[in-house]
Amino acid sequence: MAAPPSGKVVYEQEGVFIHSSCGKNDDQDSLIPGVLRVIEKENEVIVDWRPLDDTLDTSNILCAGKDSSSVVEWTQTPKEKCSRGADRPSSYEAEWDMVTTVSFKKKHHSNGDVTAHANGESKWSFLFSLTDLKSIKQNKEGMGWSYLVFCLKDDVKLPALHFHHGDSKLLIKCLEKHVVLNESPQDKRILLVNSQNKSLSQSFENLFDEPSYGLLQKLKKDPYTVTMGRFSKVTNYIFDSFRLSDPSTQRRPPSEMADFLNDAIPGLKINQQEEPGFEVITRIDLGKQPEVSRREPVSAEEWAKNMDSEGRILDVDYIKRLIFKGGLCHTLRKEAWKFLLGYFPWNSTKEERANLQKRKTDEYFRMKLQWKSVSEEQEKRNSRLRDYRSLIEKDVNRTDRTNKFYEGEDNPGLILLHDILMTYCMYDFDLGYVQGMSDLLSPVLYVMENEVDAFWCFVSYMDQMHQNFEEQMQGMKTQLIQLSTLLRLLDSGFCSYLESQDSGYLYFCFRWLLIRFKREFSFQDILRLWEVMWTELPCQNFHLLLCCAILESEKQQIMDKHYGFNEILKHINELSMKIDVEYILCKAEAISMQMMNCKELPQAVSEILGIESSSVTPDSDTGEDESGGVLSCPTSLYQSISPPVIAANGTRDSTQQMPDAQSLTPA
């Protein structure tokens, strides 16, 4: 990117986009990410915006249509709404839904310089002096991303700048230190520039020093727009060769791809062999994957037999193993999920749980009253609560609307979904609401059919998932790195192939990890998958082994057909709703057994899976100590339950019978 003009930078904001029309038809747009700066020079103040990559030829950007497969959530203008009608809930795809994408061609360089336009910069770059500024137009409150349009004194209107990370008011605050801005009597959205000089402008600064500006500086940026906005750069610009005819435009050099992805997800380092402090994972023979089968779901009778007269679970480990191997029958989920998610203590009695629910009910409605009692006038002065409410209302209207529990207008399920998410903002105001959270709540509310119980179960689930939604994206970085470590051990050849196709970052697994496969399996399959994962068996991070199982299942097709970067991403995304949950659970369990039985398991893998080892150390040569010790793993998981069931090939073995549950119940 070309260097900004020299001077003192007093304001700098990334995530400022131009939403450009392609001009091909009314249903296409493109996003051009850039950096906006305010620069003080000796005699003037410059406002400067330029694309993040001035080498990008935006005239060649292929645009994503605003339809059900768009990677960007678009906000229509009033004109668009009139011509296209109201948005349908079924058209929703969040920014992390990588389906239809955008690719680009690079400009050709001449003598090392970027192809220049009239002003010496890229087509979309612009800068102007504040002395030339006539007015600033702002968007209406609640109308999507905040944006500003600068109009110069010669009546030139610059492209609208959309602040995907928020903080447009901070720019206004900065500009008010240098010019006087007054609301237009005709349109309150327009700020007119007073022609007074800088010193006189500063004498009026206190007139515009409203408390909201100070508050905005202290508030954290919305984690979703920061993290997902950055990640959407990957999904917006780097693939979709299916639209191109020139093969030279379909691939990026691996080194450039690495830089691009690292910029999209700062701090993400996947290639561990080049990263200091990581253990180098060499090829290790894990042996053959064992045959694994699954049993029938836990029945109400089995559950009752493992509970004493006071309602206390007799053998927690045993019941968890049953759930891991077969899941739960639906009638049990309402009760059992409360234990699995940590809302009910495993050792509690029925009476203790009733008392807990009473306390939690009071606590919930106290928090709910906090946002319910906010008047319209108060909310006008609370932009953060306003933003949370707007985003929740939008997401609720498009979450699982094909499910009978949420379908139709004025559905009570939708009201509960809304109220729980709003109350969670009161519970965790720092995080508040982030897109994707409605996907996590929906199955929980569906099972609980109770507002209070669903809220506290959701709170427990969010305790596990919190890092996925935080601004720094640390949870996602860690999981992608750990997944790469596991996959390299499982199949280093496949990892090498993915790296050769610029796919070693495994970013196509991003959505899987972010919302725990919610968009990959049918609604009923997700209920089964989540309850199995919540047992925390057979090891830590079992969800990463599920990723490995899916990828290994698709390995042959990917490699045999020589899929490149674009084809891999397209293929993985088209797996949605086509994956057999029972088969993948069998395969992931087999992988866990394969790794836990390995005598030379690398230390990094042991730590990811939470396996204690008496023999493996970072500098161990053989993986065995003097006593020939091996990994300590929960073999009882596989030995104590040998019942009937669904084998890895999906067939049911009717020759085996489940041992009488009573005989396995502790005395």
Rounded Cα distance, 450 and 448, in Å: 5
Confidence of residue 17 (pLDDT cuts 50, 70, 90): confident
Average pLDDT on 466-478 reads 88
What is the Rg, in whole angstroms, of the alpha carbon atoms belonging to the chain?
A: 28
- What are the pLDDT digits (tens) for 228-287? 444 433 333 333 333 333 444 444 444 444 454 455 555 555 544 434 344 455 568 888
Q: Span 300-468: which CATH code?
A: 1.10.8.270
Rounded Cα distance, 71 and 80, in Å: 19
- What are the pLDDT digits (tens) for 371-401? 999 999 999 999 999 999 999 999 999 999 9
Any idea which of 49-58, 122-131, 508-517 has the lowest mean pLDDT? 49-58
Q: Give the pLDDT confidence score for residue 442 in this predicted structure.
A: 97
Looking at per-residue pLDDT, the higher value among 482 and 621 belongs to 482
H or E stretch including 427? Answer: helix 412-427
Superfamily for the 474-609 domain: Ypt/Rab-GAP domain of gyp1p, domain 3 (1.10.472.80)
Confidence of residue 62 (pLDDT cuts 50, 70, 90): very low
Average pLDDT on 538-545 reads 97
Amino acid identity for residue 178 in this structure? H
- What are the pLDDT digits (tens) for 135-163? 999 886 655 668 899 999 888 888 889 88
H or E stretch including 261? Answer: helix 254-264
Looking at per-residue pLDDT, the higher value among 229 and 528 belongs to 528
Looking at per-residue pLDDT, the higher value among 169 and 482 belongs to 482
Looking at per-residue pLDDT, the higher value among 230 and 511 belongs to 511
Average pLDDT on 423-434 reads 95
- Would you say the CATH fold of 474-609 matches that of 300-468? no
Any idea which of 41-55, 83-97, 415-429 has the lowest mean pLDDT? 83-97
Q: Can you list the positions of beta strands (E) in 457-547?
A: none
Confidence of residue 200 (pLDDT cuts 50, 70, 90): very low
Rounded Cα distance, 273 and 19, in Å: 40
Rounded Cα distance, 369 and 570, in Å: 46
- Contact between 218 and 82 under an 8 Å Cβ cutoff? The reply is no
Largest CA distance in the chain: 91
H or E stretch including 441? Answer: helix 437-448
Rounded Cα distance, 278 and 414, in Å: 46
Apex 205 CA angle, 204 and 209, nearest 5? 130
Confidence of residue 131 (pLDDT cuts 50, 70, 90): confident
Rounded Cα distance, 420 and 451, in Å: 7
DSSP code, position 298: B
Looking at per-residue pLDDT, the higher value among 66 and 442 belongs to 442
Task: List Cα–Cα distances, 516 to 294, 373, 462, 605, in angstroms.
Answer: 21, 34, 12, 21
- Contact between 336 and 531 under an 8 Å Cβ cutoff? The reply is yes
In percent, the amount of the chain with pLDDT more than 90 equals 48
Name 88's Cβ contacts closer than 8 Å, sequence gap at least 6.
none
pLDDT reading at 45 higher than 50: yes
Decide: residue 410, CB within 10 A, 0-12 exposed, 13-18 middle, 19+ buried.
exposed
- Contact between 414 and 73 under an 8 Å Cβ cutoff? The reply is no
Q: Give the pLDDT confidence score for residue 178 in this predicted structure.
A: 86
Half-sphere exposure of 275 (CA within 13 A, CB side): 11
Confidence of residue 123 (pLDDT cuts 50, 70, 90): low
Strands 8-21, 161-163: pairing is antiparallel
Of 52-66, 98-112, 250-264, 348-362, the range with the highest mean pLDDT is 348-362
Q: Give the pLDDT confidence score for residue 265 in this predicted structure.
A: 54
**8-54+123-194, which class in CATH?**
mainly beta
**Domain range annotation of the chain:** 8-54+123-194, 300-468, 474-609
- Contact between 397 and 339 under an 8 Å Cβ cutoff? The reply is no
Q: Give the pLDDT confidence score for residue 31 in this predicted structure.
A: 79
The neighbour count for residue 601, using CB atoms within 10 Å, is: 23
